[in-house]
Amino acid sequence: MRRRRNSLAGLLFLLPDFIGVLFFALLPFFQAVVRSFQSAVTARWVGLKNYRDVLGNSAFRLAAGNTMKFTAVCIPLLVLLSLAAAVCIQRVRLGKAALKGAFLLPMAVPAASVVLVWKVLFHSNGLINGSLQRFGMEKIAWMSSDAAFWVLVISYLWKNLGYDMILWLAGLAGISPEIYEAARVDGAGEWKCFTKITLPNLKPSLYTITVLSFLNSFKVFREAWLVAGDYPHQSMYLLQHLYNNWFRELSFDRIAATAVLNGGVVFLLILFLQRAWDTEV
Amino acid sequence: MGRHLAGKVFGKCGKGAVWLVLVLMAVIVCFPVAFVVSGAFSAQWELEQNLGPVLGSAEGMARWSLLPLAPAFQSLVELLMDSPQFFVMFWNSVKISLSILAGQMIFGIPAAWGLARFSFPGKGIVQMIYLVLMLMPFQVLMLPEYIILNGMGLLDTHLAVILPAVFSTFPVFIMQRFFHGVPEAVLEAARIDGAGNFQIFCSIGVPLGLPGILSSGLLGFLESWNMIEQPQTFLKTKALWPLSLFLPEIGLEEAGMGFAASLMMLVPALLLFLCGQEYLEQGIAAAAVKE
């Protein structure tokens, strides 16, 4: 009896929020799934036509390809860099809190407030090219060549390095110091400790961090849009640009199909994340 | 013995080098913020002189001095005194962010408590739904949200940006993890004293879960203050825009005003960050470890 009353109470706590979630996210998403099989204007059933349209669309291929390339370059870079930063910062005594704060700072910086800085930095006569020239190197056309892709990479690393570092530090804090002490007594050096103790123990964190980094990589659109507007150089044309452009043309059928495809990929990744959490004891 | 000493010296030097590299990286990471601050306190003529090559009005390359030659409050004063447009946008941002925060607290705190401390049929599925929605990028939910907001006639109102964000599942996820850490014995003791579920939630759950609530509030505020895609999609009328959509419209020709406005956008986020860095770290780490 008491148990049933308790489970009712739990439901009551949850319900107001759940109704909102159902109403503003879940049900509309299913509606979008239905729409992905219909034509935009007449809502006639068209089967897989929208999906064929999307997959054959050159803008979609460009955007999906760029998004994939971006992920393939950025995530390994970010994961390794942040791991290195975390391992180093864990040993630092002098100014540890300040250093952590400095790396985390970009998380708090609204993308819109650094647009001007990015423009000054990456302009062809800007500060970065200025320094390159001073060292006798060629100017790079950051915004109007394939280098635009690297502007995105730099923005993403800048924004997420501290975030990932905190995640790694949480993982590192979970390794008991006794293991290290035992290994040191047995004569293991720093490097050996790192490869034989630290890395294997961080494996569960690696899954989590990779998936979270992937999901955060979708947010890099903000930086891209802010520095380059709606129609950037084609090397930084991302899925979100595509959504926005189709949105302006009101091709809801194609957006729906893309959203379902995109959502499917993300969902698969989330299942991986879940498994990572489940294996973590 | 000699080798041991050499190892020690080498170790010390290595540590120093690592520290130096970290400090150098930290300086680079913080550079854009320093840039905005110095830009906001520079006079327009100095900005034009430094940025001439970028604006196309001068040859050579752009320069920048982190300490302005002639520090000036002119841009900030002009922005705060003579640009009513700025105030409208700033106020829009404040209104949107605070409404979202309030809504997330009102609906999210009880939901997180319900999920963390009770078991009921279907809880596993609900948790899975919350996790999936939390991790979905906006682009996937853009059309669904548009459809429902359109259906409710809310497009082009602030509610269109506020309501979906209130029911974001991210705050629930964070707070749930913290509520999980409240020891069962404390709740049991309260139950024996005859406290009801709601009373326990208010007098024990909320105070003991406060770090989680603060973490979630901080992350939630930073997110909504930084929002771009949502207002861009759901708001047509410029007078309703938040600051984050207004700033990109300022070109480098008006650099003085632009940097002053950027600084005003940066300051609330930075202040909260500096006060709550510890909670922010806890909130981030909450995703890394299993509950």
Query: Does the distance separating the beta carbons of A8 and B139 come in below 8 Å?
Result: no
Residue B289's pLDDT is: 63
pTM: 0.89
Phi-psi group of A154: left, alpha or beta (phi > 0 → left; psi -120 to 50 → alpha; rest → beta): alpha
Residue pair B104/B253 in contact (Cβ under 8 Å)? The answer is: no
Domains defined for chain A, CATH in brackets: 23-56+250-281 (no CATH), 73-238 (1.10.3720.10)
Phi-psi region of A123 (alpha: psi -120 to 50; beta: other; left: phi over 0): beta
For A31, name the nearest residue in chain B, comparing CA atoms only: B144
Confidence grade of residue B269 (pLDDT, cut at 50, 70, 90) = very high
Mean pLDDT across B24-38: 91
| Separation of CA B132 from chain center | 21
- Per-residue pLDDT, averaged over A147-152, amounts to 87
Tell me whether residues A247 and B142 touch, CB distance under 8 A.
Answer: yes
Chain A: residue nearest B137 by CA? A218
With an 8 Å Cβ cutoff, are A109 and B32 in contact? yes
Residue B163's pLDDT is 96
> Is B137 in contact with A17 (Cβ distance < 8 A)?
no
Range picked from A92-96, B8-12, B19-23, B154-158 for highest mean pLDDT: B154-158
Mean pLDDT of A56-84: 92
The pLDDT score that the predictor gives to residue B291 is 47
pLDDT at A121 (0 to 100)? 87
Whether the predicted pLDDT of A184 surpasses 90: no
pLDDT at position B3 over 60: no
Q: Out of B23, B113, B243, whose CB is closest to A13?
A: B113
B132:A99 CB<8 A:
no
A281: pLDDT strictly greater than 80: no
Number of H helices, E strands in chain B: 15, 0
pLDDT at B6: 56
Most B-contacting residue of A120, A155, A254 (CB-CB within 10 A), to test interface: A120
Provide the pLDDT confidence category of residue A13 given band limits of 50, 70 and 90. very high
- Token pair in block for residue A181: 């002490």
Give how far B167 is from chain A: nearest CA, Å.
5
More confident residue, B97 or A7: B97
What are the contacts of A24-30 at 24+ separation with CB within 8 A?
A: A24/B145, A24/B148, A24/B163, A24/B164, A24/B167, A25/B133, A25/B141, A25/B144, A25/B145, A25/B164, A25/B167, A25/B169, A26/B129, A26/B133, A27/B148, A28/B141, A28/B144, A28/B145, A28/B147, A28/B148, A29/A263, A29/B140, A29/B141, A29/B144
- Looking at residue B8, what is its pLDDT? 61
- Best CA proximity match to B90, nearest among B79, B105, B78, B100: B79
pLDDT at position B5: 58
Rounded to an integer, the average pLDDT of B12-37 is 88
Query: Mean pLDDT of all residues in chain A?
Result: 86
- Residue in A259, A33, A26 with CA at minimum distance from that of residue B140: A259
pLDDT at B257 over 70: yes
Domains of chain B: 2-76 (no CATH), 84-285 (1.10.3720.10)
As a whole number, mean pLDDT of residues A224-249 equals 85
What mean pLDDT is predicted for residues A142-164? 88
CB-closest option in A20, A125, A215 to B61: A125
Give A-chain residues touching B284 at CB under 8 angstroms: 163, 166-167, 170
Chain B touched by A65 (CB under 8 Å): no
* Percent of chain A surpassing pLDDT 90: 30
Q: Of B253, B105, B117, nearest to B166 (Cα)? A: B105
Average pLDDT value for chain B? 87
The residue type found at B76 is L
A16 shares contact with chain B (CB less than 8 Å): yes
A82 contact B CB<8A: no
**B179-214 confidence digits (pLDDT tens):** 988 898 988 899 898 888 999 999 999 999 999 999
Contacts with A24 from chain B: Cβ below 8 Å:
145, 148, 163-164, 167
pLDDT digits 0-9 by tens, B237-256: 999 999 998 888 887 778 88
- Rounded Cα distance, A178 and B237, in Å: 61
Two structure tokens written together for B20: 């130096």
Yes or no, beta carbons of B107 and A16 under 8 Å apart: yes
pLDDT-wise least confident of A207-216, A250-259, B198-207 = A207-216
Report yes or no: B165 and B100 within 8 Å, Cβ to Cβ: yes
Distance from CA of A214 to the nearest CA of B (A): 10
Minimum distance, in Å, between the CA of residue A95 and any CA atom of chain B: 9
- Lowest-confidence pick of A59-63, A86-90, A140-144, A149-153: A140-144
- The proportion of chain B whose per-residue pLDDT surpasses 90, expressed as a percent, equals 48
Paired tokens of B260: 């002053």
Q: Is the pLDDT of residue B152 over 90?
A: yes
State ipTM.
0.86
A183: its two tokens: 């290994």
Rounded to the nearest angstrom, the minimum Cα separation between B129 and chain A is 8
Nearest CA in chain B to A6: B118
Cα nearest neighbour of B118 on chain A: A10
